[in-house]
Structure 1
Amino acid sequence: MVRDVFRLAKENAPAIIFIDEVDAIATARFDAQTGADREVQRILMELLNQMDGFDQTVNVKVIMATNRADTLDPALLRPGRLDRKIEFPLPDRRQKRLVFQVCTAKMNLSDEVDLEDYVSRPDKISAAEIAAICQEAGMHAVRKNRYVILPKDFEKGYRTNVKKPDTDFEFYK
């Protein structure tokens, strides 16, 4: 399948191959215990082979995205396979403020809603989490048959999306 993707991209150049959540198939190699583990490792090996045999003169670009760069196989990251690493860090206070403003621009907020309260909280949150907080706040108001979004709606959105117990996440170590 990986070989077919690269072949199709070359045939239809210019093209972009985008692999989202690449960590699902490109984690550091280990002794595979299950058939699924072995299949994931076969996919990674084919991806590495395709990238090694990739003709740079063909107008095909490969872009990969991950939230877990720490788990990627070092062979994938070696020079010649991936030319650039572009990191999107978590937003600072100014950027958080801007994201909240954009996400709430078309929302009917109560005058009591203080977005600065959420901007100034010490939790490290992504722009996607801010958008989810705002969306959840709006949905909470809708569920309560209200047209105006209250501070308690934002608090509910915040608790739902940010203040999750660590047990909700089980990363492989």
Structure 2
Amino acid sequence: FSLAREKAPAIIFIDEIDAIAAQRVELGTSGEREVNRTFMQLLAEIDGFDPLGDVKIIGATNRIDILDPAILRPGRLDRLIHVPLPDGKGRAEIFKIHTRKMPLKEVDLNVLAKLTEGFSGADIKAVCTEAGYFAIREKRNYVSMDDFFKAIKKVRREESSEGYKDMFG
């Protein structure tokens, strides 16, 4: 925060802010106490005696349901911007981005976009990476549609085991 104030105008971006700004619980474990101290320090930096001035804070999470209401009060992180999952056209564009350096053979990105409804950009990147791994395991120098089918199944299976999909987006 002091560096951001010094270099202002500046933006502090905190990815997965839920890791330090989750609703406080009274478990009393040393880990929970440390997270609470970190959260209290974050609030002190935001609200403290040294005004933030031209320093803005952006936090990102896919677990908005567990954020402590204190972090969302006016003057803190007081704007919520929901970024929806990409539509079919968006998914096709994301596939184009993540496959542009991949040697593809008879791959239809529009079909892949249709098969990945409900996937985020990160999910699609994981699909492309996994498809590449499947091709490497087969000792091929190109990625096929079948590699993508297997990768979609794998990523979908990994996501369902995480259980976050229904919580936010």
TM-score normalised over the length of structure 2: 0.84
Q: Deviating runs (4+, > 6 A) in structure 1?
A: none
Give ranges in structure 2 of 5+ residues lacking alignment: none
Letter of the 2:74 partner, please give it: P
Aligned residue for 2:112, secondary structure, equals helix
Aligned residue among 15, 24, 30 for 2:25: 30
How many residues are matched? 165
Aligned residue for 1:163, secondary structure, equals helix
Letter of the 1:117 partner, please give it: V
Partner residue of 2:51? 55
1:99 shift after superposition? 1.0
1:163 shift after superposition? 2.7
1:124 shift after superposition? 0.9
Partner residue of 1:68? 63
Aligned mates of 1:17, 1:97 — CA distance in 2: 31
Aligned residue for 1:16, secondary structure, equals strand
Aligned mates of 1:33, 1:13 — CA distance in 2: 38
Aligned identity (percent) is 45
Aligned residue among 17, 20, 32 for 2:15: 20
Q: Deviations over 1:63-84 (max 9, x none)?
A: 2121211111011001111243
1:141 shift after superposition? 0.9
Give ranges in structure 1 of 5+ residues lacking alignment: 1-5
Aligned residue for 2:157, secondary structure, equals coil
TM-score normalised over the length of structure 1: 0.83
1:123 shift after superposition? 4.0
Letter of the 2:122 partner, please give it: A
2:116–2:152 contact (8 Å) kept in structure 1: no
Aligned residue for 1:28, secondary structure, equals coil
1:141 aligns with 2:141: no
